[in-house]
Amino acid sequence: DTGVSQNPRHKITKRGQNVTFRCDPISEHNRLYWYRQTLGQGPEFLTYFQNEAQLEKSRLLSDRFSAERPKGSFSTLEIQRTEQGDSAMYLCASTLRSISGTGSGYTFGSGTRLTVV
Amino acid sequence: AQTVTQSQPEMSVQEAETVTLSCTYDTSENNYYLFWYKQPPSRQMILVIRQEAYKQQNATENRFSVNFQKAAKSFSLKISDSQLGDTAMYFCAFMNPTSAGNMLTFGGGTRLMVKP
């Protein structure tokens, strides 16, 4: 297992276009998180999945954003009608959460840097 | 809601010297976890050290140690014998283990430059 993989690494798009990012978590991890990091700031939580179920969404996740995790494996984050304010790095992380409530630490991917021009 | 504040946007240190990065947080919870993450230019967030709030002993990991002051809600990171490879953004983060999602709340980060 090579860790959490995110593709593409960079994406430049014109305002108004749709973009989709992919995250492949560590295979045995049942939780997957998306965070957004703007330049010079710390990451902010967007949404997370427990297996294939999307359990929580931040108010940062507007209607133009949608995330999926089919079959509890990889996840995609789509942004429709992109705006310049969407320019940021989108980080994915995964972790293993057991029924008892204990968990492993987060493993982060290297992120997808989105630039909207 | 929890907040995490890092008051030092940038710091620099000479190679082999010691540097301390500051972090304060605000929470009404009694049990929680605190973390320091390193984000080098490669962008992957790497865990440096973790502290559980119910443990009074400060966590240490080789050259990295923390000063955890629960009453003051302070969680500073000390890097001893700084190395060029320590140059990176450092983020302090908070997590409530009893919350459903165990999300991390990050501070704004401190950019550390280690000079030769």
Q: How far is CA A89 from CA A44, A101, B4, B93, in A?
A: 10, 30, 20, 18
Asked if the Cβ–Cβ distance from A103 to B43 is below 8 Å, we say no
Higher-pLDDT residue of B101 and A55 is A55
User: Do residues B107 and B21 lie in contact, with contact meaning Cβ atoms separated by under 8 Å?
Assistant: no
CB contact at 8 A, A76 and A60: no
pLDDT at B36 over 70: yes
Rounded average pLDDT over B58-76: 96
The answer, for A25 touching chain B at a CB cutoff of 8 Å, is no
Tell me the C-alpha to C-alpha distance, in Å, between residue B93 and each of A84, B47, B97. Answer: 27, 10, 13
Higher pLDDT: A106 or B100? It is: A106
What pLDDT score was predicted for residue A23?
98
B56: Cα separation from own chain's centroid? 17
Structure tokens at B74: 């302070």
Supply the DSSP symbol for B84. G
pLDDT of residue B114: 97
Q: Can you give the pLDDT at residue B99?
A: 82
Q: Which of A48, A89, A106 sits opposite B43 (nearest CB)?
A: A89
- Residues of chain A below pLDDT 50: none
- Using the Cβ of B84 and the Cβ atoms of chain A, whether some distance falls under 8 Å is answered with no
Whether residue B103 and residue A41 make contact (CB cut-off 8 A), yes or no, is: no
pLDDT score for A101: 54
Q: What is the pLDDT of residue A40?
A: 86
Q: What is the mean pLDDT of chain A?
A: 92
Dihedrals phi, psi of A104, to nearest 5 degrees: -85, 170
Q: How far is A41 from chain B (nearest CA, A)?
A: 5
Mean pLDDT of the B81-94 span: 97
The reported pLDDT for the residue numbered A102 is: 53
* Cα–Cα dist A31/A72, whole Å: 9
Distance between CA B10 and CA B114 in Å, rounded? 11
Residue A99 has what pLDDT? 55
CB distance from A105 to chain B under 8 Å? yes
Cβ-contact B77, B49 below 8 angstroms? yes
Q: What angle do CA A73, A77, A83 make, to 5 degrees?
A: 175
Q: Give dist(CA A26, CA A39) in Å, integer.
A: 27
Query: To the nearest whole percent, how much of chain B has pLDDT over 90?
Result: 83
Residue A70 in contact with partner chain B when CB distance is under 8 A: no
Contact B44 A110 (CB under 8 A): yes
Average pLDDT, chain B: 94
B107 touches chain A (CB under 8 A): yes
Which residue of chain B has the CA closest to A49?
Answer: B101
pLDDT digits (tens, 9 = 90+) for B5-35: 999 999 999 999 999 999 999 999 988 999 9
Which residues, including other chains, have CB under 8 Å from residue A42's CB and lie 6 or more apart?
B4, B6, B91, B93, B106, B107, B108, B109
Q: How many CA within 13 A on the CB side of residue B71?
A: 0
